[in-house]
């Protein structure tokens, strides 16, 4: 199938078929920052040009053992930093619903590939919304699992305390099948928890749902709010109890995220030094080799590395990084407290409809606002899912977000599956 959306990188790669029975023949695309042995892994960055993975990520090992067919590698923002895939060093991916618009990011290639039926499932990674936001922009279902429920071994690290690998597909049912296979403790990733996925049945009449007012009160497109309100009304019609809830620190989740993420990224990306990962701009002096090689990072990557260097430096550490960590703890604590009396939180996934290519590219702060509704779940480590809940009057997809307590990924999937049995948003396809 022709990839007119530039969802895939390295189109010369032949699919890899595998023996196994849990997911036999399932066509899976893999985001360019998840390692597949003998396939390139550039994280869509010039600094990893030519790098061929020497091993499989744990999630890939598990999928291979389940019998999937790996169909290719999907485009993303450079080093997973971005919300539109415009930061890819190898060209932007177009949204299949409107090729003048972005598919979201950083897992934009994955979302577009699923939406265009170039694969059945794609793997993405979500650090601040990078699975959920592109899922919403492309009219598909995307899960950010509980932090630690999926191994990060073989995922090129962005922010190690925030990164989670998650599946994207049209239906929650398919997302669930893949999540069941890839999740679970891994001896190669010490941040994984003891986790055994089990599907659950729900009694909607017992479900207690909260609408976080700090999210709903943000500046959000009216059509997105309306679609999410319709989704809430559906939950109510099924017997769930809906209440407003306040998580005051969520209002500060985005600034806290944009301190913690750059800090961790600046540390994680220090390893790309022109010595070990294939790509190198050689020089006779060590410092010059570092400087010349690391000039290959994309602009947004450099921006965030500088920010991270700043917030971690002497004289600024307490006022920025340490403060952000405290705010993060508070955000996590407020989520825990909310889930003592509630089962789910519901909000829109994105503040805007998919925007035009180029519309936010010149304004980093405007781009960061794309993550307004999604970052809190990463800070708190709790699972969150985006599912299609409607379309704008102009035919653009709308996604709504479900958030649950730690390890309650099964609840998100159960609600989404039931909704998708009674609605057809997730079955629609771009023209």
Partner 1 sequence: MFSGAIEIESHPCYTQPRMSELTSSEISHLARLARITLSSEEEAKFAQELPRIVEFVEQLQKVKLDDDLATSVPTPLSAMREDVVSSDHLTLEQLEALAPDWQGGQVVVPAVFGEEADA
Positions marked catalytic? 31, 106, 130
Question: To the nearest whole angstrom, how small is the minimum distance from the Cβ of residue 189 to partner 1?
Answer: 9
**Looking at 17, 233, 319, 356, which residue binds partner 1 (CB under 8 A)?**
319
Query: C-alpha distances in angstroms, 213 versus 148, 310, 331?
Result: 28, 33, 14
Question: To the nearest whole angstrom, how small is the minimum distance from the Cβ of residue 32 to partner 1?
Answer: 17
Q: Should residue 217 be labelled a site residue for partner 1 when binding is judged by CB under 8 A?
A: no
Asked if the bond preceding 106 is cis, omega within 30° of 0, the reply is: yes
Question: Strand 344-348 relative to strand 208-212: parallel, antiparallel, unpaired?
Answer: parallel
Near partner 1 by CB under 8 A, which window of 69-77, 80-88, 100-108, 187-195?
187-195
Q: Should residue 196 be labelled a site residue for partner 1 when binding is judged by CB under 8 A?
A: no
**Residue 158 contacts residue 164 (beta carbons within 8 Å):** no
**Residue 139 contacts residue 130 (beta carbons within 8 Å):** no
**Looking at 81, 138, 181, 305, which residue binds partner 1 (CB under 8 A)?**
305
**Residue 73 parent element (H or E):** strand 69-74
Instruction: Decide whether 20 or 255 has the Cβ nearer to partner 1.
Output: 255
Q: Should residue 195 be labelled a site residue for partner 1 when binding is judged by CB under 8 A?
A: no
**Looking at 99, 229, 241, 322, which residue binds partner 1 (CB under 8 A)?**
322
Give 75: exposed, middle or buried? Use CB within 10 Å, 0-12, 13-18, 19+.
Answer: buried
**Residue 320 contacts residue 311 (beta carbons within 8 Å):** yes
Q: Should residue 289 be labelled a site residue for partner 1 when binding is judged by CB under 8 A?
A: yes
Instruction: Decide whether 98 or 163 has the Cβ nearer to partner 1.
Output: 163
Site string for partner 1, 109-148 (x = CB under 8 A): --------------------------------------xx
Output the CA torsion sign for 2, 350, 299, 309: negative
Instruction: Decide whether 55 or 234 has the Cβ nearer to partner 1.
Output: 55
**Looking at 137, 320, 355, 419, which residue binds partner 1 (CB under 8 A)?**
320
Instruction: Decide whether 187 or 422 has the Cβ nearer to partner 1.
Output: 187
Q: Should residue 274 be labelled a site residue for partner 1 when binding is judged by CB under 8 A?
A: yes
Q: Should residue 233 be labelled a site residue for partner 1 when binding is judged by CB under 8 A?
A: no
**Looking at 12, 198, 201, 314, which residue binds partner 1 (CB under 8 A)?**
314
**Residue 134 parent element (H or E):** helix 132-137
Distance CA 245, CA 242 (A): 10
Q: Should residue 65 be labelled a site residue for partner 1 when binding is judged by CB under 8 A?
A: no
**Interaction with partner 1 in 150-179: which residues (CB under 8 A)?**
160-161
Instruction: Decide whether 291 or 421 has the Cβ nearer to partner 1.
Output: 291
**Looking at 25, 185, 243, 356, which residue binds partner 1 (CB under 8 A)?**
185
Coil, helix or strand for 183?
Answer: strand
343-365: b (≥16 Cβ within 10 Å) or e: bbbbbbbbbbbbbebebbbeeee
Q: Should residue 259 be labelled a site residue for partner 1 when binding is judged by CB under 8 A?
A: yes
Distance CA 346, CA 344 (A): 7
Q: How many Cβ atoms are within 10 Å of 299's Cβ, its own excluded?
A: 12
**Looking at 198, 219, 365, 424, which residue binds partner 1 (CB under 8 A)?**
365
The residue behind tokens 């699975």 is 131
């Amino acid at each position: 199938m022709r990839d007119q959306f530039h969802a895939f990188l390295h189109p010369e790669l032949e699919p890899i078929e595998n023996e196994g029975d849990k997911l036999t023949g399932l066509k899976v695309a893999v985001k360019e920052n998840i390692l597949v042995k003998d396939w390139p892994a550039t994280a869509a960055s010039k600094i990893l040009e030519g790098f061929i993975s020497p091993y499989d990520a744990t999630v890939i090992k598990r999928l291979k053992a389940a019998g999937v067919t790996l169909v290719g590698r999907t485009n993303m923002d450079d080093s997973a930093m971005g919300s539109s895939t415009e930061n890819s060093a190898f060209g932007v991916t177009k949204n299949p619903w409107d090729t003048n618009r972005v598919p979201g990011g950083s897992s934009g290639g994955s979302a577009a590939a699923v939406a265009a039926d170039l694969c059945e499932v794609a793997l993405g990674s979500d650090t601040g919304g990078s699975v959920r936001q592109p899922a919403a922009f492309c009219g598909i279902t995307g899960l950010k699992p509980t932090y630690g429920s999926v191994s990060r071994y073989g995922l090129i690290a962005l922010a190690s305390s925030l990164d989670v690998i998650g599946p994207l597909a049209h239906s929650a049912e398919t997302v669930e099948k893949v999540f069941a296979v890839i999740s679970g403790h891994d001896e190669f990733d010490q941040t994984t928890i003891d986790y055994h996925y089990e599907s659950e049945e729900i009694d909607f009449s017992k479900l207690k749902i909260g609408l976080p007012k700090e999210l709903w009160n943000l500046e959000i497109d009216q059509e997105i709010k309306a679609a999410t309100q319709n989704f809430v009304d559906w939950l109510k019609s099924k017997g769930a109890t809906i209440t407003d809830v306040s998580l005051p620190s969520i209002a500060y989740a985005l600034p806290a995220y944009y301190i913690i993420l750059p800090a961790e990224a600046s540390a994680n990306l220090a390893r790309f030094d022109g010595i070990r990962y294939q790509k190198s701009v050689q020089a006779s002096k060590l410092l010059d080799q570092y400087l010349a090689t690391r000039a290959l990072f994309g602009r947004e990557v450099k921006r965030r590395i500088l920010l991270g260097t700043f917030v971690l430096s002497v004289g600024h550490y307490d006022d920025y990084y340490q403060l952000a960590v405290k705010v993060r703890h508070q955000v996590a604590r407020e989520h825990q407290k909310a889930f003592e009396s509630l089962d789910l939180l519901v909000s829109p996934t994105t503040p805007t409809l998919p925007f035009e290519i180029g519309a936010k590219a010149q304004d980093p702060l405007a781009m960061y606002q794309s993550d307004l509704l999604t970052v809190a779940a990463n800070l708190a480590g709790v699972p969150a899912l985006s599912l299609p809940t409607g379309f704008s009057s102009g035919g653009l997809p709308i996604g709504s977000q479900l958030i649950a307590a730690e390890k309650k990924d099964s609840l998100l999937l159960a609600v989404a599956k039931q909704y998708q049995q009674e609605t057809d948003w997730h079955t629609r396809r771009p023209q």
